[in-house]
Amino acid sequence: MAIRLEKCCCGLIKIETGSRIFAILAIISSLVLLGLAFFHKHLYRWEPYFMSLAGILQLVAAIFVLLACAKRRDDFMVPQLIVGFLVVVMVLIATGVVFYSQFDRDSKLQTFVRKAVTNMEIDARANRIHENNETVDSSEDEGTIALPKEEQMDVDKWTRIICLSTLLFSVLVLAYNIWYLATYWCAYTLFQDLREQKPMKTIQCKQVISERISDRFFPAI
């Protein structure tokens, strides 16, 4: 028996409404991405083609989702499913890289964060020295102010905190992308069943995976 999805994964709204909400959010994010690419081109005199391409693909796919919900066309959901899958794969890879960086002090993430935090500490210390007219040891070769041991420990602490926060953010982004991909897929199956005019039974979106597996591998005799 085919499945008609009454509610989204959250159980609060209909699957079609959830798909529309995600599509609108995707349109907004794609416009923001295109805007950032535009300003980046004018500020740095080169165009980030990947950013522009990602924004255009997401914009087109999200528009097709709105059309799919309006016309209940399952084929209009395919572009968003492809884009959503690619996004999940890229975010998963990025999350893995960030997770690995937690254990490698010389990783690019920790090196970048440590350098940024160190520069902030040096600037703050230089301002305090200037205000109090203190004398400090400076490196003539590097032209930088040496940080005391206590402040260097603060740099290491904040580096760990920022890297862990980055990992948490990456996990949340991954969960969000999996959620909206699952919502789109549930809408796709709904429109597909409606097009084929199969008999329906009403369940929630969170039950669709187990029901699909049951119908495919253990059909009723």
Dump pLDDT digits (tens) for 31-83. Answer: 988 888 777 766 666 566 777 888 899 999 999 999 998 888 888 999 999 99
For 57, what's the count of Cα atoms within 13 Å in the CB-facing half-sphere? Answer: 16
What is the per-residue pLDDT for 183?
A: 83
Mean pLDDT value across residues 90-99: 92
Distance between CA 35 and CA 63 in Å, rounded? 18
User: What single string gives the DSSP state of each residue in 164-195?
Assistant: HHHHHHHHHHHHHHHHHHHHHHHHHHHHHHHH
Mean pLDDT value across residues 100-104: 87
Count CB neighbours of 77 within 10 A. 26
Assess whether pLDDT exceeds 80 at residue 177: yes
Cα of 16 vs its chain's centroid, Å: 22
What is the per-residue pLDDT for 16?
A: 81
What is the per-residue pLDDT for 141?
A: 41
Assess whether pLDDT exceeds 60 at residue 138: no
Distance between CA 67 and CA 70 in Å, rounded? 5
Assess whether pLDDT exceeds 80 at residue 111: yes
